[in-house]
Amino acid sequence: MNAVEYSLNAGAGNPFSEDPSLQMAATPIWREAMFPLDWMALRSSPVYYGCGIPAGEGEPVVVVPGFLASDLSMTELYWWLARIGYRPYFSNVGHNADCPDHVASLLLETIRRAYRDTGQRVRVVGHSLGGMLGRHVALDYPEYVNLVISMGSPFKDAVKAHPLLHAATESLRGVHGRHVAKNVKPSCFSGHCTCSFVKNMIAPEEYEVAHFAIYSKRDGVVDWENCIEDDASLNDEVNCTHLGMAFHPGVYRVLASRLRQAAEGHHEPGY
- In order, the DSSP letters of 141-193 are -TTTEEEEEEES---SSSEEE-HHHHHHHHHHHSTGGGGT-TT--TTTTSTT-
Q: Which helix or strand (DSSP H or E) is residue 198 part of?
A: helix 196-202
Alpha-carbon span 125 to 117, nearest angstrom = 18
Q: In angstroms, what CA-CA distances link 27 with 11, 23, 46, 205, 217? A: 25, 12, 31, 29, 10
Predicted confidence at residue 18, as pLDDT, reads 61
Q: Is the pLDDT of residue 216 over 50?
A: yes
Predicted confidence at residue 21, as pLDDT, reads 61
Backbone angles phi, psi at 56, to 5 degrees: -90, 175
Any bridge partners for residue 61, and if so which?
A: 88, 123
Q: Is the pLDDT of residue 26 over 70?
A: yes
DSSP string for residues in 214-243: EEETT-SSB-GGGG--SSGGGEEEE-S-SG
pLDDT range class, residue 98, cuts 50, 70, 90: confident
pLDDT range class, residue 19, cuts 50, 70, 90: low
Predicted confidence at residue 11, as pLDDT, reads 40
Mean pLDDT of 131-153: 96
pLDDT range class, residue 163, cuts 50, 70, 90: confident
Mean pLDDT of 113-133: 97
Alpha-carbon span 104 to 206, nearest angstrom = 19
Torsion of the alpha carbons at 5, 8, 12 and 17, rounded to the nearest 10: -90
CB contact at 8 A, 96 and 70 = yes
Q: What is the mean pLDDT of the chain?
A: 85
Lowest mean pLDDT among 46-60, 90-104, 156-170, 231-245: 156-170
The more confident residue out of 45 and 18 is 45
Mean pLDDT of 181-185: 66
pLDDT range class, residue 244, cuts 50, 70, 90: very high
Predicted confidence at residue 268, as pLDDT, reads 43
Predicted confidence at residue 65, as pLDDT, reads 98
Predicted confidence at residue 22, as pLDDT, reads 67
pLDDT range class, residue 267, cuts 50, 70, 90: very low
SS3 20: coil
Mean pLDDT of 136-153: 97
CB contact at 8 A, 120 and 59 = yes
Q: Cβ–Cβ contacts within 10 Å for residue 57, how many?
A: 10
CB contact at 8 A, 196 and 101 = yes
Predicted confidence at residue 259, as pLDDT, reads 97
Lowest mean pLDDT among 51-60, 110-119, 184-193: 184-193
Alpha-carbon span 143 to 209, nearest angstrom = 9
pLDDT range class, residue 175, cuts 50, 70, 90: low
Q: Which helix or strand (DSSP H or E) is residue 125 part of?
A: strand 122-127
**With 0-12 CB in 10 A as exposed, 13-18 as middle and 19+ as buried, what is 79?**
exposed
Mean pLDDT of 103-127: 97
Q: For residue 227, which of 66, 40, 3 has the smallest C-alpha distance? A: 66
The more confident residue out of 99 and 270 is 99
pLDDT range class, residue 170, cuts 50, 70, 90: confident
